[in-house]
Structure 1
Amino acid sequence: MPQRVHRFLFAVLMIYFLMPSGAQSQSIGGGIVGRVKDQRGDSVPAALVQLVNTSTGQIRAVSTDNEGRYEAREVSPGIYNLTVLKGGFNTAKVSDVRLSVTQVVHVAEITLTVAPVGNETIEVRAAEIAMIETNSPALSTAFSQKQIRELPLLTRDINSLALLAPGVFSVRTFSFASTLVPFAVNGSRGRENSFIIDSVDNNEPLFGGAATQFTNTDLFAEYRIITNQYKAEFGRNSGSVVNLITERGGNQWHGSAFWFAQRDPLNATNRVERAAGLDRPAPFAENVLGASLGGPMQHESTWVFLTYQWDGARNDLSPLYPQVATLPTVRGLNALSRQPLTQTLSALLNDPTVGRLPLVAAPCFSFFAGLPANNPCTISGPPNNGITVGGTPIEFGSFLVSRAGIFDVRDHQTSFRVDHRLTEKDDLYGRYLFDDLRTPRTVGAAPLEVGFFDPGLMPSYHELFLQRTQNAGLFWTHAWPRALHELRGSYTRISSQLGALGVSGNAQETLPSVTVSDTFATSPAPGGTPAGTSAFLAAFPAAGNVFTMGRDTRPSRINSNLYQVQENISISRGRHSIKFGANLVRTLSNIRDIPSNLGEYFFAASASSGFQNFANNAPTFALQRFGNFGGRGGEELPLRQFSQFYFFEDDIRIAGSFTLNLGLRYENYGQPINRIAELNPNFGSQIQRDNKDFGPRVGFALGLGSRTVVRGGYGIYYNPTASSPISYTVTTLGCCKLPAA
């Protein structure tokens, strides 16, 4: 491709992204370096060194300099055979040189022997590689494909591998947005880690952490975490840098199929289960099924690799978290159906739990002595505790909801990657990643509702969390004998919803929270005793007294779109390995997360009973919050951010075992919170960009043999402003009012 085409393409991308409105510029490639000499120990200049990927047959060619040194940078991880050719010498071949993510492999000196005229031979030698990387100041830990697939990861979360690296500890139990932030490094916050897949960003823009939580270990070829002193090409956060590379096809068709299963008989009882009186673990079953396939679409020029995984887990925690619902009995439902239906009564009768639970024979609590064997556990006392509608008695009961503690998780993951060799110097590949997750937020009611106020929420309105993540990328490289040009573009979309997603869309968007308080069912049911009823009602405050339909909040929605473009150039010249580049990121996020935007309606006893007020649609008290700012904007907050990053670095070989790294990085982050200032006149002045975020990097590596290296360095690192507090600000700045009854 002509040089002017390169410049034109890059200029177009720059213009597109440089619009008013984080991420980093980095690489997953490694390097192979060494020296070629003759039998007398003299350097062999201008020798051709070919690196042949054993899987795909792709060739990368470099030449030796005047000192006989060769250096191939930004080489894709894999296994390579090295071939050294020079006129008048026998050809030397070094087999099976394994290259990891960002690793620089030092190959032992290769000696070329003089070949008799017309009788050149090929001399094959075993690879002699240093045990540790001796020319980088960065401290990192790598895991090969074999380790990724075979190490016992109970949750199959590949980021659990990071916990095996020094200085890394788990923060899942106390970290903000813990599902996205699995660990912290060297005392930094968990959300200050940077996650990369195939050189492009995999960071959740609002909460931090990895945007996609892939658990299919067949998808990845290598995992590396850099925990200290990373170079200028890496940035965005001050914690660790996690590098992941996806598997690619080869010249041979290969694949896998797997089934991973977990069952409760293999588990031990925990403290919660023992405290609940269980003598065995709660029922649990998980099945993870998947397959992968890779191979050549066209031999030695086009390769494909694809994967699919389905994860289904069910944990029945009903014995640990029982739920009671107060509903009309069958007689009560029949009596209500003959009444003139108001808007509130219609909503009650249309609720899935109300129409199903009283009709199903199910057991009541077995560990409360004095309760009946089957539902209802308690009922209205004569004459129905005064619960009437239009003078007609309405019988209620309290019901144990069977299997209310079912915790179902469903996750679909798939990937598709195509690599294509355009020319001997140009490579192009694209890949697509997809993850679709559905999981309950909690078992039963939310923790605050259980701990402080039990509203008797209907099971149909439990909260579900849905998230779909997609990432598409296109990558192109052009190689010269001593230089490499990389151009990458990617698009990521993260869509999530949280709310009562198990009911109809109309109910999600229009039905407010309705809480009715009355003495519905506080008397013994047939087969029960007063003592058993009293113990039961004391254990479940809402039972027989309160029921709640609907949610006070519409389901929250967060949609983020990230557009990213990178360009890097690497040059090897003498003792210098120079690399510089730019990374531009445009982030578009839309948030709808306003508590109480549907409102809460409370019906309690006044001149009429609480349920009579409910039937008459006469609330005692109501509260509603509106999510706009002083009448500006709507319920959805659009956040816009443009970030740009530039770097320059140079690895200088001072001596054979001493390498000095010098670099400078510039980072410029957007201020998405300014969007609130545009909508709310009381916010104050906008926050200006910090245009002085320069981060110098200085590091060294001194090799003391093949097993020991001394590293050191200094650097300044920056973290972007977390957008999660902005989301919280949105949920608290709305104005509230009481709707008219």
Structure 2
Amino acid sequence: MAIDQTGDHFMNTFHQGRSLKSAIRLALAFCALIMLSSVPTFAQATKGNIRGTVADPNGQVIAGATVTAKNQNTGVESSTVTTGDGLFVIPELIPGQYTVTVESTAGFSKKAVTDVSVGIGAATNLPIVLAVGSPTEVVTVTSSGEELTIQRDESQIAATFDTRKIQDLPSNAAAGGLDTIALMAPGVIANNSGGVNTNGSGLSVNGNRARSNNFQIDGSDNNDLSVAGPANFIDNQDAVQEYQVITNNFSAQYGRNQGAVINIVTKSGTNDFHGSLFWFHRDRKNFDSLDNIEKASGQTDPNPSLFNVFGGTVGGPVYLPHFGEGGPTYISGKDRMFFFFSYQGVRNPSSSTFRSTSLGILNSEFPRLTSTFPGNAVISDIANFSTFAIPGASVNSTILGTPIPTAFNLAP
């Protein structure tokens, strides 16, 4: 009996130990998930806010009024109440168009302002005047967008480009990288010799080096820690919601570099299904003309180069199946859950002609060249890694050039 009791006690202790270890592992995994999910929010700015005052027709402030901002694409709402001074702030709003509704129980009619724009890291100033009337009456006005013309609450200098500008402006070619659009901001010039990664163009801002810029995507760091510049390249125009270049007087949440801050916010799904398809085609041989060097060399047509960029996007609400008895057969994600998918492919079959004023070496002469100068590192590089060593490459013998002096001719 003692042996059985001891065995039962051992088994109970063993199972309790396993349960405790499983609980500890689950708690650690949950803490790690929370930490990882909150990392991108530190010291980043991918959202904006709406602030302002609520007053009556005589200019007297109205306290206790309910102010609600509703995203016109997703239906997500954020609300607040005006202070004793009639002030309100609705923070953490994703960039887009909003409808701002103000309600008061003090004998004023309800007012709704549509098409209020919110940008990246921007504070939209929206003063609202309520009309005297019944709370059941609704006065609807459309915002003119002038509230974004002057930023009274920020000293930073920035240029923001919305979806339409990104897609329509001719500054960024298909699959050519989005950073070329930053060249439209004051104080930004191209710098492609800075020895850094470039997403279309290197950027020198206010005289700083190309290494001095800070790149972010959706609030996450996008800096290449080895050679500087962006780590991930974004050139799909249809996938970007807003592009912002901050050139001076950064807000407190930014740091790291003294050049520019490049913010890219990607699109998200909405309450409606939307999508796009695109295909950009370029045919250099049939649609381009010869340049001066090609004309001088005797070419009759440009080198063949077919450049095709194709892809699409799709986004909308998420619908999930509903399990169990009763209720709807599916769960609608409208106003709650959304998805967005984008794809872009690039195909560029082409042929190139390399020209040089140096001597041309036939592939058949490589063995004799290496045997004549054994162990010579320069000769070895020429025979293995030069342009003439490319498989399939051949010296153009149809165009007369400068005769090779006898001193450099390897022929006996």
TM beyond 0.5: yes
The residue that corresponds to 1:122 in the other structure is 138
Deviation of residue 177 (structure 1)? 2.9
Change in CA separation of 1:209 and 1:458 when aligned onto 2, cut-off 3 Å: closer
Give secondary structure in 2 for the equivalent of 1:454.
Answer: helix
2:264 is aligned with 1:229: no
1:15-53 deviations in Å (ceiling 9; x for gaps): x99xxxxx9822111121111012332111121111000
Change in CA separation of 1:285 and 1:84 when aligned onto 2, cut-off 3 Å: same
Change in CA separation of 1:269 and 1:542 when aligned onto 2, cut-off 3 Å: farther
Deviation of residue 125 (structure 1)? 1.3
Superposition pairs of residues 608-627 of structure 1, within 5 angstroms? none
The residue that corresponds to 2:336 in the other structure is 301
Give the alignment partner of residue 64 of structure 1, picking from 75, 78, 82.
82
Give the alignment partner of residue 263 of structure 2, picking from 243, 265, 271.
243
The residue that corresponds to 1:402 in the other structure is none
Aligned AA for 2:118? L
Q: Provide the rounded CA distance (Å) in 1 between the counterparts of 2:308 and 2:263.
A: 28
The residue that corresponds to 2:177 in the other structure is 157
Q: Provide the rounded CA distance (Å) in 2 between the counterparts of 1:213 and 1:544.
A: 50
Give secondary structure in 1 for the equivalent of 2:164.
Answer: helix
Q: Provide the rounded CA distance (Å) in 1 between the counterparts of 2:109 and 2:77.
A: 20
The residue that corresponds to 2:382 in the other structure is 454
Change in CA separation of 1:542 and 1:54 when aligned onto 2, cut-off 3 Å: farther
Q: Provide the rounded CA distance (Å) in 1 between the counterparts of 2:123 and 2:189.
A: 27
Q: Which 5+ residue runs of structure 2 have no aligned equivalent?
A: 1-26, 319-332, 372-377, 392-396
Give secondary structure in 2 for the equivalent of 1:46.
Answer: coil
The residue that corresponds to 1:148 in the other structure is 166
2:78 is aligned with 1:78: no
Change in CA separation of 1:543 and 1:456 when aligned onto 2, cut-off 3 Å: farther
Change in CA separation of 1:533 and 1:241 when aligned onto 2, cut-off 3 Å: closer
Aligned AA for 1:34? G
The residue that corresponds to 1:684 in the other structure is none
1:459-506 deviations in Å (ceiling 9; x for gaps): 7986xxxxxxxxxxxxxxxxxxxxxxxxxxxxxxxxxxxxxxx9xxxx
Aligned AA for 2:220? V
2:132 is aligned with 1:113: yes
2:361 and 2:388 in contact (8 A); partners too? no
Greater strand percent: which structure?
A: 1
1:101 and 1:222 in contact (8 A); partners too? yes
The residue that corresponds to 1:258 in the other structure is 278
Deviation of residue 310 (structure 1)? 0.4
The residue that corresponds to 1:93 in the other structure is 112
1:259-295 deviations in Å (ceiling 9; x for gaps): 0112214334445434544354332220001010011
Change in CA separation of 1:222 and 1:179 when aligned onto 2, cut-off 3 Å: closer
2:274 and 2:315 in contact (8 A); partners too? yes
2:139 is aligned with 1:104: no
Q: Provide the rounded CA distance (Å) in 1 between the counterparts of 2:124 and 2:56.
A: 22
Change in CA separation of 1:35 and 1:453 when aligned onto 2, cut-off 3 Å: same
Q: Provide the rounded CA distance (Å) in 1 between the counterparts of 2:48 and 2:301.
A: 51
Deviation of residue 236 (structure 1)? 0.7
Greater helix percent: which structure?
A: 2
2:52 and 2:89 in contact (8 A); partners too? yes
Q: Provide the rounded CA distance (Å) in 2 between the counterparts of 1:10 and 1:124.
A: 47
Deviation of residue 101 (structure 1)? 1.3
The residue that corresponds to 1:171 in the other structure is 191
**TM-score, scaled relative to structure 1:** 0.42
The residue that corresponds to 1:201 in the other structure is 221
2:109 and 2:130 in contact (8 A); partners too? no
Deviation of residue 99 (structure 1)? 1.2
2:311 is aligned with 1:290: yes
1:503-538 deviations in Å (ceiling 9; x for gaps): xxxxxxxxxxxxxxxxxxxxxxxxx9xxx9994x66
1:282 and 1:319 in contact (8 A); partners too? no
1:84-138 deviations in Å (ceiling 9; x for gaps): 11224321100110111112211233324232xxx72111112243323332111
2:54 and 2:127 in contact (8 A); partners too? no
The residue that corresponds to 1:13 in the other structure is 35
Aligned AA for 1:97? V
Aligned AA for 2:127? A
Q: Provide the rounded CA distance (Å) in 1 between the counterparts of 2:268 and 2:33.
A: 30
2:197 and 2:228 in contact (8 A); partners too? no
Aligned AA for 1:56? T
Change in CA separation of 1:34 and 1:112 when aligned onto 2, cut-off 3 Å: farther
2:182 is aligned with 1:182: no
Give the alignment partner of residue 349 of structure 2, picking from 285, 290, 314.
314
1:139 and 1:230 in contact (8 A); partners too? yes
Give secondary structure in 1 for the equivalent of 2:383.
Answer: coil
Q: Provide the rounded CA distance (Å) in 1 between the counterparts of 2:86 and 2:411.
A: 87
Give the alignment partner of residue 214 of structure 1, picking from 230, 234, 239.
234
Give the alignment partner of residue 30 of structure 1, picking from 45, 48, 54.
48
Deviation of residue 158 (structure 1)? 0.8
Q: Provide the rounded CA distance (Å) in 2 between the counterparts of 1:71 and 1:221.
A: 23
Identity of aligned residues (%): 26
1:417-456 deviations in Å (ceiling 9; x for gaps): xxxxxxxxxxxxxxxxxxxxxxxxxxxxxxxx89x97335
1:52 and 1:58 in contact (8 A); partners too? yes
**TM-score, scaled relative to structure 2:** 0.73
Aligned AA for 1:13? M
2:114 and 2:141 in contact (8 A); partners too? yes
Give the alignment partner of residue 136 of structure 1, picking from 142, 154, 161.
154
1:653-709 deviations in Å (ceiling 9; x for gaps): xxxxxxxxxxxxxxxxxxxxxxxxxxxxxxxxxxxxxxxxxxxxxxxxxxxxxxxxx
2:197 and 2:230 in contact (8 A); partners too? no
Superposition pairs of residues 591-670 of structure 1, within 5 angstroms? none
Change in CA separation of 1:43 and 1:319 when aligned onto 2, cut-off 3 Å: same
Aligned length: 345
Give secondary structure in 2 for the equivalent of 1:244.
Answer: strand
Superposition pairs of residues 413-492 of structure 1, within 5 angstroms? 454-455=382-383, 457=385
Aligned AA for 2:342? T
Change in CA separation of 1:139 and 1:179 when aligned onto 2, cut-off 3 Å: closer
Q: Provide the rounded CA distance (Å) in 2 between the counterparts of 1:42 and 1:534.
A: 89
Q: Provide the rounded CA distance (Å) in 2 between the counterparts of 1:203 and 1:308.
A: 23
Aligned AA for 2:272? Q
Give secondary structure in 2 for the equivalent of 1:307.
Answer: strand
Task: Choose between structure 1 and 2 for higher RCO, CA contacts under 8 A separated by at least 6 residues.
Answer: 1
User: What is the CA RMSD across the aligned residues, in angstroms?
Assistant: 3.8
Q: Provide the rounded CA distance (Å) in 1 between the counterparts of 2:223 and 2:105.
A: 50
1:133-166 deviations in Å (ceiling 9; x for gaps): 3321111111110011111223531110000000
Q: Provide the rounded CA distance (Å) in 2 between the counterparts of 1:542 and 1:237.
A: 55
Q: Provide the rounded CA distance (Å) in 1 between the counterparts of 2:179 and 2:130.
A: 42
Give secondary structure in 1 for the equivalent of 2:181.
Answer: helix
Q: Provide the rounded CA distance (Å) in 2 between the counterparts of 1:278 and 1:199.
A: 50
Change in CA separation of 1:453 and 1:34 when aligned onto 2, cut-off 3 Å: same
The residue that corresponds to 1:326 in the other structure is 363
Aligned AA for 1:92? K
Aligned AA for 2:110? T
